[in-house]
Every structure is written in structure tokens, then in C-alpha cells.
Amino acid sequence: MFASKIKPYTFTLFAKKYGEEKLLDCLERNEKNGVVYHREGINGDYDDFDDVDQLMNFILTGVR
């Protein structure tokens, strides 16, 4: 899968599995802990993954 497609694909899977509210809660918690959604342009910490499961875990935990 292309790296540019992993983030939206994984975010969609996460929302289907855990719900939108859980996704938003995780994103908010991660942001408070220094995780950056958009650093410059459209890339941020969530774009550094090429594996869906690793990104899903990062969303859940905020830990690489």
C-alpha cells in the first residue's frame, strides 16, 4: 500500500473498530503529549508509518 494512503485507510479502520469518539479522544490525548498531526503541509507524526497495525497501535498509545 502506498504510504500516502495508509493514514486515511488506518484512521477509517480505527473508527470502524473503536468508534469515532475513541479516535478523536486518542488524537486529542496524543496531541497533548506532543504528537503532531500536521507538521509542515500535510505531513506529521502519523505519516511516518508504512504498516497499518503499527499506525493503529500508535493512535491507541501515542508511543512508537
19-29, pLDDT tens digit by residue?
999 999 999 99
Rounded Cα distance between 7 and 14, Å, is 10
Angle between the 52-61 and 3-18 helix axes, to the nearest 10 degrees? Answer: 60
Question: What is the arithmetic mean of pLDDT over 39-61?
Answer: 90
What's the pTM? 0.86
Mean pLDDT, range 2-10, rounded to an integer: 80
DSSP state of 63: -
Grid coordinates in use for 46?
A: 502519523
Where in the chain are the domains? Answer: 3-61
Residue 13 C-alpha cell reads as: 479502520
Question: Is the distance from CB of 52 to CB of 13 less than 8 angstroms?
Answer: yes
